[in-house]
Amino acid sequence: MRVTNSKDVARTAVLISLALSAALLLSCRPQSEDPATQAGANDSGVARSNARVNVYRHSMDGAPTSLDPIHASNIYANFLVVNLYDTLYRYSYLARPYQLTPNLAESLPEVSADGLIYTIRIKPSVHFIDDPSFPDGKGRPIRAEDFVYSMKRHFDPAMRSQGNWMWQGKIVGLDEWKESGAHYAADIPGLRALDDRTLQIQLITPFPQLTHTLAQGYAAIVPSEAVSHYGSEFGVRPVGSGPFMLKSFDSTRAILQRNEKFRAEAFNLVSEGYDPASQQVFGVESLEGQAPPFVDRVEVEFIAEDAARWNTFNSGLLDFVKVPVTQFDRVLAERNPPRLKPELEQRYHLLANLESGFVHTDFNMDDQRIGHHPDAEQDSRNRALRCAMVKAFDWPRRNEIFYSGLGHVFPGVIVPITPEFDRKQSLQSITRNLDEAQSLLKRNGWNADNLPVLEYGLPSSVTERQMFEQFRSFMADIGYPEEKIRPLTFASYGDYARAYLNREVMLITSSWTMDYPDSENTMQLYFGPNASPGANNANYRNPEYDRLYREAAVMPESPMRTAIYRQMSQMVIDDCVSITGLSRTLILMWDKRFRMLPDRSFVGGYFLRFATDATDGEVPAVLEP
Amino acid sequence: MLGLAPDSATHRKALRNLLQATLLILGVTFISFLLMVYFGPDQTYTLIGKNATPQQIAEVRHQLGYDQPFFQRYGQFLASLFTLDLGVSHSTGEQVRTILARSLPVSLALVIPGFILGNLIGLLLGMAAAWQSGRWLDRLITTLSVSTMSISFLIIVIALQIVLCTPYGLNLFPARGWNVSGLSSYLYYVAVPTLALILTNAGYSARFYRAVFVQEAGREHIRVARAYGASPFTLMTVHVLKNSLLAVLTRIMFSLPLVLVSGSLLLETYFGIPGIGKVTFDAITNGDQPLLLAVVGLTAVLFVLVSLLADVAYRLADPRIR
């Protein structure tokens, strides 16, 4: 009896195993049958991917969650959005410093003499891609009204836009439209389609950065039909008019394919800002007169883990990688300027891309233990304490340990990549001076006993913790007791952001990536009315700074405005509001068979349409490392 | 014959099990939900734009449902689990059900071979070690098991990637991806993750099974069987394994849900495989509560179902159990 039972059990087990195997095989259906993943259908799977034709394989160190332009809040989403959709303007491919150029717009905007009215003509006969959301599935022409609709979405509370701050309080009637219920049929006086191809934007006060904002992914133009058709899934079903269209998208990769209907516009070296002296090496001059996009398919792999990204690049499955800092020694023969080792130089291009932003540590000026204080004497003592800490911070050491010595350390809040940056300014605020720091503490009555306990906020990660420990060791050098500098660790960046936006963190280490190449974008970080939960995380309040900000904010770029910005930056330095700053250098590496100039800054994803396979698919063998 | 004929005792038992399962699901989901709401990620500050006003923050919190009373939210959560209408991901806007339906088969296909082979190898090694208990083979297997248990899963994954997937090593398999279109491509993509799972699972399993088998092998009836001249193979498979089946079943059944979610998390992240582990990891980092709650809730339900199935399996394996 028991033997029979055990046989039954064994038989049942075998049957279950067989059923399981069959189910597994069924679950592995060919990808071509699955619309969500069919982009991979061309891959044999076993065949090595370097045998593909006209495919460019890009990698990013993070992934977007949505491809809806109103959620293009990070470089990853923006990278894809500007390739799937059209924006009115973009940045010239090769021009440095960065320059705006028309994209869907025919020309740069006509601006009224008072700087309040912008008139923009869009190019004729530009169509959205074919999609089931349109009648008969045929993409219709883009109209000026589509831009108006796309802007309205930002101010529709139901859409939860992350980009509306760019135009909030700037365009006549737009905020009121939101307040009155966000009815799409209702007109907005400051945002009008004069005809199918002409737009007019009326500003409340001059906003010289408006054209820059129209080059952001946020300002991409979407068709209302697709938004209605796909509802909440519009974020993963993009319907645009950009150079590429989406084949598939998940948290690990996105596959784009050339939009065959993309308008044919000849590539022009001069208008793209070509500089033969520095850019001839990339081979882009051969593109003159040809119409982008030049590759048939783009595969974008989202690989956050440095080791996995580097291993994938080394295995020949990627054409482009942002080199992890841990690999700098392995790939660089020289650091200043960065140069690849000879064996890698044969196959790869290298570009040292200075980031369009900076990392810094703000003091929470709202915290009376270290920031603003109603009592003038204590306020002065707090300032002395902050200045002592600024002088104790060892920027070269921070740069060497965490950024491989390739970061650009600079004083103040005008970052090196902007035209307003002053290369001759004093470096005193970034030069470590322990004697002066200790003297400041002593003169202002600070000692180990009465120094306040500092709470240093950080999201949970090894690198952040190491940075904290280094910070604490710098402060220990001026006699700040280690037990008085405490980590305030948060499980995720979202939790950390919640804490500092609620003014619960004393020392806030963060990075800022600029939205456009105009220092107004960093100046607003210390503008009083922008205090938390706004972008002024330091909660800095200085009436003179605020007055200058208001004065400069309406001024177009000029030497006078630059002088004001520099004056404001000096105020941040003098008040010791922040331990600032460092712009990171990103080392970009790509296969030489691609003629292109990639960019992680303002050009961002716009470069993709100009990437071209020089071998037209004839791939050389993978070099051994 | 197997004692499964329905009678009043069986009905009572089934009813009791069902009641226990319901209470268990309520308890587990309640604790999970409580932890998620009060200690889980808050997506508000990820979704707001720069320079958000308190009013805009309140709007986002309202849309995310964070301002609703706790028990109202819990009720909605239970209803969504019951109806399998799991809502919409706050990050991508996709239906949670669609995301799970897309990613779950990928995870199953990814971890099942490693899970089966890891347990099978563990069983064989455990039997060999138990049979040779105290001798060199036992010591060798124990040492190897402890070694693989001591190495971090992450290190194993990275080492395998370098050795098998890059030109620094053999460069035989892909370092990343899941372009499965048939059996050959499936084997191509699943090979290295499976190897990683085997290396980590087999050690743990071998140690566990060895301990169970050694205990069983010391019993009187095994000594009698040995005295009657039963071969080592017959002894270990027919007598020892069969009598240890409850412990083996328990380990296998209860580790499946864990392997499916947490085991595939690292693999999917490092190999760029869009399965349930990657989806869960992203939901945690993005604070995507609908998705996270669905995974947590369904995992809890899965555990309870496994528990019920285990009861049935025990009775199949040992008819003495009622």
Query: Is the bond preceding A109 in cis, omega lying within 30 degrees of 0?
Result: no
List of chain B residues whose C-beta atoms are within 8 Å of the C-beta of residue A33: none
pLDDT more than 70, % of chain B: 96
SS3 content of chain B, % helix, strand, coil (to 5): 75, 0, 25
CB-defined contacts A:B, below 8 A: 198
Report pLDDT digits (tens) over A297-340: 999 999 988 888 998 898 888 999 999 988 998 999 998 889 99
- Record the tokens describing residue A398, joined without a space: 């921070």
What pLDDT shows up at residue B202?
87
Q: Considering CB atoms only, which of B102, B158, B287 is closest to A307?
A: B158
- Write out residues 152-171 of A within 8 Å (CB-CB) of B: 157-158, 160-165, 168
Spell out the long-range contacts of B311-317 with Cβ–Cβ below 8 A and sequence spacing 24 or more.
B311/B17, B313/B249, B313/B253, B314/B246, B314/B249, B315/B2, B315/B3, B315/B4, B316/A8, B316/A9, B316/A12, B316/B2, B317/A9, B317/B245, B317/B246, B317/B249
**What value does the mean pLDDT take over residues A248-272?**
94
List the helix and strand counts (H, then E) for chain B.
15, 0
Q: Considering CB atoms only, which of B48, B54, B185 is closest to A46?
A: B185
Cβ contact, residue pair B91, A46, below 8 Å: no
Q: Indicate the DSSP class of residue A490.
A: E
Q: Considering CB atoms only, which of B52, B108, B109 is closest to A165?
A: B52
List of chain B residues whose C-beta atoms are within 8 Å of the C-beta of residue A236: 92-94
A175 CB within 8 Å of a chain B CB? no
Provide the mean pLDDT of chain A. 89
A301 CB within 8 Å of a chain B CB? yes
Cβ contact, residue pair A158, B63, below 8 Å: yes
Residue B121 predicted with pLDDT over 50: yes
d(CA A262, CA A241): 7
Amino acid at A167: W
Of B2, B82, B17, the residue nearest B309 (C-alpha):
B17
| Closest chain A residue by Cα to residue B316 | A9
Concatenate the DSSP letters of all residues of B251-266 into one string: HHHHHHHHIIIIIHHH
A316 CB within 8 Å of a chain B CB? yes
Task: Classify residue A272 as exposed, middle or buried by CB count within 10 Å of its CB (0-12, 13-18, 19+).
Answer: buried
What pLDDT shows up at residue A31?
39
Cβ contact, residue pair A165, B188, below 8 Å: no
pLDDT more than 70, % of chain A: 90
| Closest chain B residue by Cα to residue A67 | B92
A337 CB within 8 Å of a chain B CB? no
| Closest chain A residue by Cα to residue B280 | A251
Cβ contact, residue pair A45, B180, below 8 Å: yes
Residue B9 predicted with pLDDT over 90: no
Q: How far apart are the first and last CA of chain B?
A: 13
Of A515, A518, A519, A511, the residue nearest A72 (C-alpha):
A515
What pLDDT shows up at residue A569?
97
Report pLDDT digits (tens) over A554-583: 999 999 999 999 999 999 999 999 999 999
Q: Considering CB atoms only, which of B174, B176, B287 is closest to A303?
A: B176
Q: Indicate the DSSP class of residue B88.
A: B
* Strand A297-302 with A55-60, pairing: parallel
Grade residue A53 by pLDDT with cuts at 50, 70 and 90.
low
Cβ contact, residue pair A6, B242, below 8 Å: yes
Report pLDDT digits (tens) over A86-126: 999 999 999 998 999 999 999 999 999 999 999 999 999 99
Of A150, A350, A114, A363, the residue nearest A239 (C-alpha):
A150
Most B-contacting residue of A247, A312, A532, A623 (CB-CB within 10 A), to test interface = A312
Of B134, B141, B315, B311, the residue nearest B217 (C-alpha):
B134
List of chain B residues whose C-beta atoms are within 8 Å of the C-beta of residue A232: 88, 93-94
List of chain A residues whose C-beta atoms are within 8 Å of the C-beta of residue B239: none
Residue A23 predicted with pLDDT over 70: no
Most B-contacting residue of A18, A315, A327, A493 (CB-CB within 10 A), to test interface = A315
Strands in A198-202's sheet, in edge-to-edge order, are A110-111, A117-121, A198-202, A191-195
Q: Considering CB atoms only, which of B171, B185, B269 is closest to A315?
A: B171
When mean pLDDT is compared over A143-157, A273-287, B175-189, B204-218, the highest value belongs to: A143-157
CB contact at 8 A, A319 and A54: no
Residue A252 predicted with pLDDT over 70: yes
Q: Mention every residue, 6+ apart, whose C-beta is less than 8 A from residue A474.
A: A392, A393, A394, A397
Residues in chain A: 625
Q: Which of A151-165, A207-221, A285-299, B46-60 has the lowest mean pLDDT?
A: B46-60
Smallest Cα distance from A51 to chain B, Å = 14
| Closest chain A residue by Cα to residue B188 | A46
Grade residue A2 by pLDDT with cuts at 50, 70 and 90.
very low
d(CA B126, CA B184): 32
**What value does the mean pLDDT take over residues B280-292?**
85
- Write out residues 482-521 of A within 8 Å (CB-CB) of B: 491-495, 497-498, 501
- Record the tokens describing residue A61, joined without a space: 């160190």
What pLDDT shows up at residue B99?
93
Residue B99: count other Cβ atoms within 10 Å of its Cβ.
28
Distances (CA, A) of A185 to A145, A147, A148, A149: 11, 14, 11, 10
What pLDDT shows up at residue A133?
96
List of chain B residues whose C-beta atoms are within 8 Å of the C-beta of residue A46: 184-185, 188
d(CA A299, CA A285): 25
- Write out residues 45-64 of A within 8 Å (CB-CB) of B: 45-46, 63
Q: Which of A476-490, A520-534, B287-301 has the lowest mean pLDDT?
A: B287-301
- Record the tokens describing residue A138, joined without a space: 């045929």
Amino acid at A401: I
- Record the tokens describing residue A171, joined without a space: 């365009």
Q: Is A289 left (phi over 0), alpha (psi -120 to 50) or beta?
A: left
Cβ contact, residue pair B274, A524, below 8 Å: no
- Write out residues 166-225 of B within 8 Å (CB-CB) of A: 166-168, 171, 174-186, 188-189
Place of tokens 């087990």: A13
- Write out residues 243-282 of A within 8 Å (CB-CB) of B: 250-253
Provide the mean pLDDT of chain B. 85
Most A-contacting residue of B35, B42, B92, B112 (CB-CB within 10 A), to test interface = B92
Cβ contact, residue pair B285, A492, below 8 Å: yes
CB contact at 8 A, A594 and A613: yes
When mean pLDDT is compared over A271-275, B202-206, B219-223, the highest value belongs to: A271-275
Cβ contact, residue pair A25, B183, below 8 Å: yes
**What value does the mean pLDDT take over residues B174-180?**
86
A460 CB within 8 Å of a chain B CB? no
- ipTM value of the model? 0.78
CB contact at 8 A, A347 and B204: no
Residue A345: count other Cβ atoms within 10 Å of its Cβ.
14
Tell me the torsion sign for CA atoms A424, A426, A429, A431. Answer: positive
d(CA B313, CA B322): 12
Of B45, B24, B25, B36, the residue nearest B70 (C-alpha):
B36
Of residues A417 and B262, more confidence is placed in A417
Residue A489 predicted with pLDDT over 60: yes
Q: Which of A9-13, A257-261, A343-347, A424-428 has the lowest mean pLDDT?
A: A9-13
Cβ contact, residue pair A31, B63, below 8 Å: no
pLDDT more than 90, % of chain B: 21
Grade residue A9 by pLDDT with cuts at 50, 70 and 90.
very low
What pLDDT shows up at residue B284?
83
Cβ contact, residue pair B278, A252, below 8 Å: yes
Most A-contacting residue of B43, B50, B110 (CB-CB within 10 A), to test interface = B50
Q: Mention every residue, 6+ apart, whose C-beta is less than 8 A from residue A481.
A: A448, A451
Q: Is A488 left (phi over 0), alpha (psi -120 to 50) or beta?
A: beta
SS3 content of chain A, % helix, strand, coil (to 5): 40, 20, 45
CB contact at 8 A, A134 and A225: yes
**What value does the mean pLDDT take over residues B83-105?**
90
Residue A50 predicted with pLDDT over 80: no
Cβ contact, residue pair B180, A624, below 8 Å: no
Q: Which of A28-37, A64-73, A281-290 has the lowest mean pLDDT?
A: A28-37
- Record the tokens describing residue A493, joined without a space: 């960046």
d(CA A514, CA A7): 70
Smallest Cα distance from B189 to chain A, Å = 8
Exposure on the CB side of residue B63, measured as CA atoms within 13 A:
21
**What value does the mean pLDDT take over residues A66-95?**
96
List of chain B residues whose C-beta atoms are within 8 Å of the C-beta of residue A494: 41-46, 286-287
Cβ contact, residue pair B94, A235, below 8 Å: yes
Residue A204 predicted with pLDDT over 90: yes
Residue A219 predicted with pLDDT over 90: yes
**What value does the mean pLDDT take over residues A439-460?**
96
Residue A20 predicted with pLDDT over 60: no
Exposure on the CB side of residue A84, measured as CA atoms within 13 A:
31
CB contact at 8 A, A92 and A103: no
Residue A624 predicted with pLDDT over 80: no
Grade residue A224 by pLDDT with cuts at 50, 70 and 90.
very high
Q: Give Rg (Cα) of chain A.
A: 27
Of A316, A271, A331, the residue nearest A48 (C-alpha):
A316
Of A133, A37, A191, the residue nearest B189 (C-alpha):
A37
Smallest Cα distance from B56 to chain A, Å = 8
Report pLDDT digits (tens) over A382-414: 999 999 999 999 999 999 999 999 999 999 999
d(CA A424, CA A404): 25
What pLDDT shows up at residue A48?
37
Concatenate the DSSP letters of all residues of A158-216 into one string: GG--SSGGGTTTTBTTHHHHHHTT--TTS-BTTEEEEETTEEEEEBSS--TTHHHHTTS
What pLDDT shows up at residue A164?
92
d(CA B68, CA B58): 12
Exposure on the CB side of residue A95, measured as CA atoms within 13 A:
16
Q: Indicate the DSSP class of residue A519.
A: T
Cβ contact, residue pair B54, A533, below 8 Å: yes
Smallest Cα distance from B193 to chain A, Å = 13
**What value does the mean pLDDT take over residues A545-560?**
96
Most A-contacting residue of B104, B110, B173, B176 (CB-CB within 10 A), to test interface = B176
Concatenate the DSSP letters of all residues of B96-164 into one string: HHHHHHHHHHHHHHHHHHHHHHHHHHHHHHHHHHHHTTTSHHHHHHHHHHHHHHHS-HHHHHHHHHHHH
List of chain A residues whose C-beta atoms are within 8 Å of the C-beta of residue B243: none
Q: Indicate the DSSP class of residue A69.
A: G
Q: Considering CB atoms only, which of B50, B51, B175 is closest to A312?
A: B175
- Write out residues 260-279 of B within 8 Å (CB-CB) of A: 269-274, 278-279
